[in-house]
Structure 1
Amino acid sequence: MTFQEKLRHALDLCQDSKIKSYDYQPPLYKLLWRLGIEKAPPHFTGFYENWISIGTITGIPWTLIMAAPGLFQDVSRSDFFPLLVGGCCSSVFYGYLMAKRCERQAKRFGIPLWKDFFPPE
């Protein structure tokens, strides 16, 4: 079974549950799938993997957005450092919250880990 077939079954399973589509198909995950990156949906991965991936996927763009105004002004490095720390802290916190939410929903609706998910062919 190819990754795309397994992904389709996984998304169907999530759709049959009461999980909202933007939770199990976040826009950045859709982008990764279109680019050919084989990343399991967030509800099918473990807590730590979600924490790292969601924190990174959202943290890097968020930090760049926060730092963008400073790039076009005469800002010293000492003024730039708190923006980077703030972006990193917010990505760690956001990643933790979203990973916990995915873990709780997966447990509530009986969604297995990706390695344990064997849909019918």
Structure 2
Amino acid sequence: MDFEQKMTHFREEMEYLGICQFAAAPLLYRFLWFLGIAEPPPFFASRWRSLSIHVTCYSLLLAFVLLTLHIFVALNLSTSVNLFVIVLMFSLVYSFYMASNYQYQSRMLELPSWELYLSEKHKIDSANIS
């Protein structure tokens, strides 16, 4: 089964379980999928993998915003560096919270690993979802 088929089934399963589509497939991951990066949904990622993805993406996004502010508002370099450190710390805390939350929800839903998802060992009956 290819990545797109798994993702389609995953979205249907999450909808069946009553989980919001934006919680099941956050915008950050949708953007990565749009770019062609076949990253499994955060429910299937380890805490550290999810943490690294969130921190990297949010830090790059906010660094771009700070660079834009630095150019157009004429902030001095020390202020920009201080703001970037604050943003990086915020990204770390927020990303750790999100990674822990996804790992907790994955345990509550008893989801298998992404490799075993939709295999014979997967518990939820696909016929009930479709």
* TM superposition score category, shorter chain reference: 0.7 to 0.9
Aligned to 1:83: 83
Q: How does 1:90-109 map to 2 (within 5 A)?
A: 90-109=90-109
Aligned to 2:116: 116
Structure 2: distance between partners of 1:5 and 1:19:
19
Structure 1: distance between partners of 2:23 and 2:58:
14
Higher relative contact order (CA 8 A, sep 6+): 1
Structure 2: distance between partners of 1:38 and 1:73:
38
Structure 1: distance between partners of 2:54 and 2:119:
25
TM-score if structure 1 supplies the norm length?
A: 0.85
Match of 1:116, as an amino acid? Answer: L
Q: How does 1:1-121 map to 2 (within 5 A)?
A: 1-119=1-119
Unaligned runs of 5+ in 1: none
How far did 1:67 drift? 4.4
Task: Report % sequence identity.
Answer: 23
How far did 1:2 drift? 1.2
Classify the secondary structure of the residue corresponding to 2:13: helix
Structure 2: distance between partners of 1:119 and 1:5:
13
Which segment is superposed worse, 99-108 or 61-70?
61-70
How far did 1:114 drift? 1.0
Aligned pair count? Answer: 121
Alpha carbons 1:67, 1:84 under 8 Å: kept: no
Alpha carbons 2:69, 2:75 under 8 Å: kept: no
Structure 2: distance between partners of 1:18 and 1:58:
28
Larger radius of gyration: 2
Structure 1: distance between partners of 2:46 and 2:74:
43
CA-based RMSD of the aligned residues comes to 2.0
How far did 1:104 drift? 0.9
Match of 2:83, as an amino acid? Answer: L
Match of 1:15, as an amino acid? Answer: E
Structure 2: distance between partners of 1:10 and 1:112:
12
Deviating above 4 A after TM superposition, structure 1's stretches of 4 or more consecutive aligned residues are none
Alpha carbons 1:55, 1:91 under 8 Å: kept: yes
How far did 1:41 drift? 0.7
